Structure 1
């Protein structure tokens, strides 16, 4: 299932749980856990590294090495959040005094790196594109911003009416120096000014015969899986900014984000 509507991938405490078995691939994973005030959630990291990223609210992340305090944020649209990296083969507890919603972005990995705190002010924020293709990219765990074994994760804010993930691009082949093979998850939230819910659209189309082909209307809590193919644009409804969390990982020996743009689209908009 490439399009994952809200509520279709609930698993125990997780409002959304996408693991390699469900996705039909090997590395990339995403969970979203919602905690009531005073709530706690414990999990074992297994063979994967994880980043705990507040979507709304603050929390503490307890590891064998101590407690990491995350200030979090009011919402994904209010700004960049701090985050916690936790290693494979560990027992983790997340606790939130006021409650909140927290993303767990993961990737199956080999190396066991130390647990670490990621500071919000140190997250590189990139303003990419221009005009109707302008968007904000928060590179909190991009390949060149934060050390992980395989996991790559970034956030994107697309203003209402704009396109992002454009021109369409792909990363489904290993071509040294040109393209890296990466499995990718898009998790969406749509701004709701005045309480009016919004929507967006996500396009994925084949890069080879029989490849992934989907045009999905997306709303808060939905996800789209990109095992292969050209993906983009991501389109935000006018008046409603679109947020998406990208989680990526792949088999390459080097942790790198190398993409190939579709030759039939103007690269000047990227």
Structure 2
């Protein structure tokens, strides 16, 4: 049985050097396709990162940076924090050498996926990121689709997005899975690993926030049992299984960065809802959009 003890990586538990979080494909036996590094830079500091065998998206969490890729410099304007807005994102192909420099300092997520093909370096501006409001009532959340299928496709296998769940709301609900490849004319599903990287908004008085993440077995051959409290800087790995719901404690908005990739040649993101929970989709229209998220879609 795969449990929270080896899939929930608390903040700092994988830290190495300037990296607060370090998950690389192939570093552990049960993880093959995706990676995430969270880089912390002080004012004026730089870090060189080589995309060996992976393609990468640089996602500023707070602060801006300049990224030099093969001698060309790209300026990412960044943001005060992940709750403030979408951000500029930079895509770089497999084999690239990146030098990340931040004049004011900041933290930067490097989302990666195993790749072989060559694609152009691409700067995605914050104002061009498609923003979707999904769900209804206490299931409303905001999705920033900077690296999803259909929003950005000039890459091999990497799929990435950000989700903001207002305090008291649930997301990744209904629970769903994408741990096998199916295309039988009635249902499509894509085999994908998934990383959830969390940040939770503090209380007004500065005390830390929290939320919950769940992953459960999707079959006898895919045993997993995770129901864990998550806090800022925590990472949860989803190798298989029904994942969700993710619940934000009242008063604490929840952010997560999703990173996905899989073994198939086709880059696709097809999911299957948990059969006991898919009915909730039919309640969203009547419940309406959480007023905290009205006017966010573009």
TM-score range, shorter chain: over 0.9
Give the equivalent residue in structure 2 for 1:26. 32
C-alpha RMSD over aligned residues: 1.2
Q: Specify the SS of the correspondent of 1:7.
A: coil
TM-score normalised by L of structure 2? 0.88
Give the equivalent residue in structure 2 for 1:200. 211
Give the equivalent residue in structure 2 for 1:89. 95
- 2:236 matched to 1:229? no
Q: Specify the SS of the correspondent of 2:127.
A: helix
Give the equivalent residue in structure 2 for 1:38. 44
User: Whose radius of gyration is greater, 1 or 2?
Assistant: 2
The answer to whether the Cα contact below 8 Å between 1:261 and 1:267 also exists between their aligned partners in 2 is no
Q: Specify the SS of the correspondent of 2:57.
A: strand
Which of the numbers 253, 265, 276 marks the counterpart of 1:253?
265
The answer to whether the Cα contact below 8 Å between 1:155 and 1:244 also exists between their aligned partners in 2 is yes
The answer to whether the Cα contact below 8 Å between 1:212 and 1:226 also exists between their aligned partners in 2 is no
Higher deviation after alignment, 132-141 or 170-179: 170-179
Q: Specify the SS of the correspondent of 2:85.
A: coil
Once the 2 structures are TM-superposed, how far is the Cα of residue 267 of structure 1 from its aligned partner?
A: 4.0
Which of the numbers 173, 184, 190 marks the counterpart of 2:200?
190
**Distance across 2 between alignment mates of 1:69 and 1:52:** 11
Give the equivalent residue in structure 2 for 1:10. 15
Q: Specify the SS of the correspondent of 1:234.
A: strand
Q: Which runs of 5+ in 2 are unaligned?
A: 1-5, 285-298
The answer to whether the Cα contact below 8 Å between 1:65 and 1:115 also exists between their aligned partners in 2 is no
Which of the numbers 159, 164, 189 marks the counterpart of 1:152?
159
Higher deviation after alignment, 158-167 or 59-68: 59-68
**Distance across 2 between alignment mates of 1:179 and 1:229:** 13
**Distance across 1 between alignment mates of 2:264 and 2:13:** 31
Give the equivalent residue in structure 2 for 1:243. 255
**Distance across 2 between alignment mates of 1:200 and 1:59:** 30
**Distance across 2 between alignment mates of 1:161 and 1:99:** 32
Q: Deviations over 1:12-55 (max 9, x none)?
A: 32110011234522111000000000010001111100000000
Q: Specify the SS of the correspondent of 1:73.
A: coil
- 2:225 matched to 1:220? no
Q: Deviations over 1:242-269 (max 9, x none)?
A: 0000000001221111000011112415
**Distance across 2 between alignment mates of 1:260 and 1:251:** 18
TM-score normalised by L of structure 1? 0.97
Stretches of 4+ moved more than 6 A in 1? none
Q: Deviations over 1:209-257 (max 9, x none)?
A: 2512100100000010000000000000101000000000001221111
Q: Specify the SS of the correspondent of 1:21.
A: coil
Higher deviation after alignment, 57-66 or 208-217: 208-217
